[in-house]
């Protein structure tokens, strides 16, 4: 089963926090990570910008198992759940999608109820799986992104670096430079 996890941070070296989270997620199973994105805060603008990414993971265990591991990774990074819901955070891990499952429990809702309305989630998700369908609307991620009415700015930064355990991407061999006149 493929699971998609949204990753975000805007405290304590956000890019480092996101890369550490990707490394921790890779310990749970095969993983492919998006580029890192810089995004305006959603819900409350008087805080630092976020760094976001999405991880695509192969997971043979139940969604509940993965959800509990995500919360443990957040706690290990110093995340607390007290205070402002939309305030700054050292690490935020959201289970966005878990195959085509729909789960509605008090503490776990899949698909994530707001993933299709957030550019900072859809941009990295579209990078990994543009044709993936939202189990609720049955629309492809690329279409959700193209039709999104979210004024928040999202800027692609770079590929994650130094993430041990992540599945390497295939790279084309470098082409020799050809002199042009």
Could you read off the pLDDT of 19-65 as tens digits, one per residue? 999 999 999 999 999 999 999 987 677 789 999 999 999 999 999 99
Task: Tell me how far apart the 2 most distant CA atoms of the chain are, in Å.
Answer: 66
Within-domain flag for 173: no
Within-domain flag for 164: no
Three-state SS at 93? strand
The active-site residue out of 11, 79, 114, 142 is 79
Q: Tell whether the model's pLDDT for residue 4 goes beyond 70.
A: yes
Catalytic, 79? Answer yes
Q: CATH number for the domain including 103? A: 3.30.70.560
Q: Using CA atoms, how far apart are residues 120 and 104, in angstroms rounded to an integer?
A: 23
Output the pLDDT for position 84.
57
Tokens of 123: 């941009």
Catalytic, 89? Answer yes
Instruction: Tally the domains of the chain.
Output: 1
The active-site residue out of 89, 118, 119, 134 is 89
91-135: per-residue pLDDT in tens?
Answer: 999 999 999 999 999 999 999 989 999 999 999 999 999 999 999
Helices (H), the chain: 14-26, 63-76, 119-128, 141-146
Within-domain flag for 149: yes
Within-domain flag for 123: yes
Catalytic, 102? Answer no
Within-domain flag for 13: yes
Which of 5-9, 18-22, 24-28, 173-177 is predicted least confidently? Answer: 173-177
Within-domain flag for 167: no
Whole-model pTM? 0.84
Q: Using CA atoms, how far apart are residues 103 and 98, in angstroms rounded to an integer?
A: 9
Q: Using CA atoms, how far apart are residues 87 and 42, in angstroms rounded to an integer?
A: 9
Q: Tell whether the model's pLDDT for residue 171 goes beyond 50.
A: no
Q: What separation, in Å, do the N-terminal and C-terminal C-alpha atoms of the chain show?
A: 52
Q: Residue 128's domain spans which residues?
A: 2-158
Output the pLDDT for position 172.
33
The active-site residue out of 69, 94, 119, 134 is 94
Within-domain flag for 176: no
Catalytic, 94? Answer yes
């Amino acid at each position: 089963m493929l699971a998609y996890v949204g990753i975000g941070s805007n405290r304590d070296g956000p890019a480092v926090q996101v890369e550490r989270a990707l490394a921790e997620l890779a310990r749970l199973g095969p993983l492919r990570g998006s580029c890192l994105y810089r995004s305006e805060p959603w819900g409350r603008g008087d805080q630092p910008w976020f760094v976001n990414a999405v991880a695509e993971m192969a997971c043979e265990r139940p969604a509940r198992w993965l959800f509990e591991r995500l919360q443990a990774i957040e706690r290990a990074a110093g995340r607390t759940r007290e205070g402002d819901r939309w305030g700054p955070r050292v690490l935020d891990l959201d289970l966005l999608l878990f195959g085509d499952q729909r789960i509605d429990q008090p503490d776990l809702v899949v698909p994530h109820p707001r993933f299709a309305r957030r550019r900072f989630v859809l941009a990295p998700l579209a990078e990994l799986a543009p044709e993936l369908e939202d189990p609720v609307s049955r629309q492809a991620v690329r279409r959700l992104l193209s039709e999104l009415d979210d004024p928040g700015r999202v800027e692609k930064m770079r590929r994650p670096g130094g993430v041990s355990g992540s599945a390497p991407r295939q790279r084309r061999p470098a082409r020799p430079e050809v002199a042009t006149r």
